[in-house]
């Protein structure tokens, strides 16, 4: 069986609801099963892994009632029944590594798994169980644990192999007669997952404290049944967020944000470093991408599950990206994800190489190929992302995504169905000094929309012309400068990679920008770039002098922001420190004359623009007016174009 993933036409604009975290779900299920009393878990991440854990709990005598994505667990107070039959962890690493220590509380039992799991490391965990007094037969699955007499309260375990071994011991510790002191030997990998375990345990009344940099002390006070809502899976969130960065447009994951206990929310910062606009709130993460990414070097040790996602992003980035800190995942995950990522990128024609603790990827186009998934859900989901742009990708064994996200390909179809071919544009035009840039930036921030200051683009060309020595009256030469200049406008303005944020605001540039902007070739070049910029992002606030009349005549909403010459002179003087208001009024009137009477795309009020006169009006009031009217025009309830 295979699934062909086709490129998406247009840009994305979607709020996504994801299933509950598999990592949190399986931790909460263990704790609820060991707790005293009844627990109700909401937004369960239903998948093959969580079903394996529920089956294990039932084998231990825990009553589990499942209703949709809500489960009621009748805890045993730590008194687990010895399983009659071997518990099958299937292909779930968390189930295998969390259930094994639970056999210390059940008088023993057997644990087995899918053949793929039988070769995965278990030795350090089993050795730790032996040091506590467990009678463990086997060094890998399947294992048999005999009846346990006295259980110890101190154990040392290697910290540089898998955090799941540590989490498994932590989870069972409150149910042990004397609790447990865990000494983590060496450099701790994936510490955020240990903190995630700790946070779940504390929610159910456990006492878990660090008594040193690498020593955890868990009290023997048991758990108390409680009500708990599982937040969306942060590792899974990396896929729709990466899709926004790769394809362009906006994707917001709801229910997951800065308040999360999951370390993988840090992947949002990786996307930010690669050039996406990322906003993280207490209960959401939103990414706005342009389809253009920058190569970076990154240590993914704290969030190793996102390594295949990063591999797909790196394949689309400009330059060479390198990942370090993840050598341990070669033997602890469903597949050797370092070798698998490199092999499949090479299969797609992308240059990638493996090294001791990560891999390197040279971004570039891919060709169509059938990619292997190695029965690994994360390989299937990450490689599918590349099929969303330019060239299709065929994913073999797509059903393996059921391990954590059965609805993954349905989500991709939803992204495709809501993609837009035309951007939503809030166009703000007006004369010099009317407050366009300030208002546009504030409106964009309120609406969570990208903001393009087209004036900064024209200033950048003017600066490039001045530096080139080309005469401003030489239209053809100035147009050539505009065509060749690589301009980036954002919080930092660059020309050919050089920061010119301050340089474009000098008096010399100010006096040159109007004649440069009047040249038809320059306007043609920059208007095309402005359109491409907005199309790539799907929605934007764009301000200038001809945005609604020439660049985006079909803009979603057009505002013409103006003010009296006296008001504009006062504002500009306040900005520049000038003291001669009459001279400033003369300069502004002169600029109005040039802009309004130039031959090509003059400053004018579009027929369907709403005129807002800001004379004597506070900027905040102007912003409120525009935001209110934009929200009335767009469908705020469905998140179209941004919500404040």
For residues 437 and 459, the answer to whether their CB atoms sit within 8 Å is no
First-to-last alpha carbon distance for the chain, in angstroms, is 44
Catalytic residue among 277, 305, 429, 546: 305
Cα torsion through 628, 630, 632, 633, rounded to 10: 170
Spatial distance between the Cα atoms of 266 and 548, rounded to a whole number of angstroms: 39
Spatial distance between the Cα atoms of 522 and 505, rounded to a whole number of angstroms: 19
Q: Which of 106, 111, 56 is closest to 77 using CA atoms? A: 106
Residue whose token pair is 């009678």: 135
Structure tokens at 546: 């001809």
Cα–Cα–Cα angle for 586, 588, 592, nearest 5°?
Answer: 115
Q: Give the dihedral sign, CA 597/598/599/604.
A: negative
Spatial distance between the Cα atoms of 72 and 187, rounded to a whole number of angstroms: 38
Cα–Cα–Cα angle for 228, 233, 235, nearest 5°?
Answer: 150
Question: Which helix (H) or strand (E) is 107 found in, with range?
Answer: none
Q: State the DSSP string of 149-195.
A: -SPPSEEEEESSS-HHHHHHHHHHGGGSTT-EEEEEESPPSSHHHHH
Give whole-number Cα distances, 355 to 84, 313, 378, in Å: 45, 18, 20
3-state secondary structure of 493: coil
Cα torsion through 498, 504, 509, 514, rounded to 10: 110
**546 belongs to the catalytic site:** no
Structure tokens at 464: 């490039």
Q: CB atoms < 10 A from the CB of 151, how many?
A: 17
Structure tokens at 70: 């809500």
Structure tokens at 231: 């937040």
Spatial distance between the Cα atoms of 518 and 526, rounded to a whole number of angstroms: 12
Q: Which of 386, 408, 405 is closest to 5 using CA atoms? A: 386
3-state secondary structure of 484: helix
Spatial distance between the Cα atoms of 302 and 325, rounded to a whole number of angstroms: 8
Spatial distance between the Cα atoms of 5 and 310, rounded to a whole number of angstroms: 18
Spatial distance between the Cα atoms of 574 and 621, rounded to a whole number of angstroms: 20
Contacts of 476 (CB under 8 A, 6+ apart): 521
For residues 33 and 60, the answer to whether their CB atoms sit within 8 Å is yes
Spatial distance between the Cα atoms of 363 and 315, rounded to a whole number of angstroms: 4
Contacts of 320 (CB under 8 A, 6+ apart): 295, 360, 361, 362, 363
Spatial distance between the Cα atoms of 479 and 476, rounded to a whole number of angstroms: 5
Give whole-number Cα distances, 143 to 89, 137, 588, in Å: 12, 6, 83
| DSSP 8-state class, residue 259 | T
Q: Which of 132, 18, 110, 35 is closest to 74 using CA atoms? A: 35
* Residues labelled as active-site residues: 305
């Amino acid at each position: 069986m295979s699934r062909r993933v086709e490129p998406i036409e247009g840009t994305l604009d979607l709020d996504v609801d994801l299933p509950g975290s598999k990592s949190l779900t399986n931790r909460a299920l263990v704790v609820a099963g060991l707790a005293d009393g009844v627990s109700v878990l909401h937004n369960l991440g239903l998948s093959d892994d969580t079903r394996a854990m529920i089956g294990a709990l039932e084998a231990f005598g825990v009553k589990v009632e499942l209703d949709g994505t809500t489960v009621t667990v009748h805890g045993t107070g730590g008194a687990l029944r010895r399983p009659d039959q071997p518990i099958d962890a299937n292909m779930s690493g968390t189930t295998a590594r969390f259930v094994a220590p639970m056999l210390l509380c059940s008088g023993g039992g057997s644990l087995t798994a899918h053949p793929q799991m039988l070769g995965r490391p278990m030795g350090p965990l089993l050795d730790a169980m032996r040091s506590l007094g467990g009678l463990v037969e086997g060094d890998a699955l399947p294992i048999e644990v005999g009846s346990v007499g006295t259980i110890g309260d101190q154990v040392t375990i290697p910290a540089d192999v898998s955090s799941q071994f540590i989490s498994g011991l932590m989870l069972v510790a409150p149910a042990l007669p004397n609790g447990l002191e865990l000494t983590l030997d060496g450099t701790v990998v994936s510490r955020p997952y240990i903190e995630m375990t700790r946070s779940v345990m504390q929610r159910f009344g456990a006492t878990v404290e660090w008594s040193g940099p690498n020593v955890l002390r868990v009290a023997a006070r048991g758990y108390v049944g409680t009500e708990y809502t599982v937040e969306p899976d942060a590792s899974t969130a990396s896929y729709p967020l990466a899709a926004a960065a790769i394809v362009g447009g906006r994707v917001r994951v709801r229910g997951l944000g800065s308040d999360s206990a999951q370390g993988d929310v840090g992947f949002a910062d990786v996307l930010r470093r690669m050039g996406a606009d990322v906003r993280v709130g207490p209960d959401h993460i939103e990414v706005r991408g342009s389809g253009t990414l920058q190569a970076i070097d990154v240590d993914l040790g704290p969030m190793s599950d996102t390594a295949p996602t990063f591999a797909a992003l790196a394949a689309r980035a400009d330059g060479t990206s390198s990942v370090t800190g993840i050598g341990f995942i070669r033997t602890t995950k469903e597949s050797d994800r370092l070798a698998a990522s490199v092999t499949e990128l090479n299969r797609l024609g992308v240059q990638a190489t493996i090294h001791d603790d990560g891999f390197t990827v040279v971004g570039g186009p891919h060709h169509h190929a059938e990619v292997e998934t190695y029965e690994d859900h994360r390989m299937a989901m990450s490689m599918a992302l590349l099929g969303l742009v330019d060239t299709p990708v065929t994913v073999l064994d797509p059903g393996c995504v059921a391990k954590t996200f059965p609805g993954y390909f349905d989500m991709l179809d939803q992204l495709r169905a809501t993609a837009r071919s035309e951007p939503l544009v809030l166009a703000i035009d007006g004369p010099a000094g009317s407050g366009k840039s300030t208002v546009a930036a504030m409106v964009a921030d309120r609406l969570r929309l990208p903001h393009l200051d087209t004036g900064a683009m024209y200033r950048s060309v003017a600066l490039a012309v001045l530096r080139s020595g080309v005469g401003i009256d030489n239209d053809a030469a100035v147009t050539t400068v505009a065509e060749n200049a690589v301009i980036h406008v954002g919080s930092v303005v660059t020309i050919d990679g050089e920061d010119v944020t301050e340089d474009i605001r000098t008096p010399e540039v100010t006096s040159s920008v109007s004649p440069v902007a009047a040249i038809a070739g320059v306007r043609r070049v920059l208007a095309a770039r402005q359109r491409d910029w907005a199309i790539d992002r799907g929605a934007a606030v764009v301000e200038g002098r001809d945005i609604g009349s020439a660049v985006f005549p079909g803009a979603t909403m057009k505002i013409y922001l103006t003010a009296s010459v006296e008001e504009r002179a006062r504002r500009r003087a306040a900005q520049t420190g000038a003291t001669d208001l009459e001279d400033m009024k003369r300069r502004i009137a002169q600029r109005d004359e040039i802009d309004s009477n130039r031959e090509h795309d003059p400053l004018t009020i579009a027929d369907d623009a709403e005129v807002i006169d800001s004379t004597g009006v506070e900027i905040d009031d102007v912003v409120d007016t525009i935001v209110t009217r934009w929200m009335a025009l767009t469908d705020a309830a469905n998140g179209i174009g941004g919500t404040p």
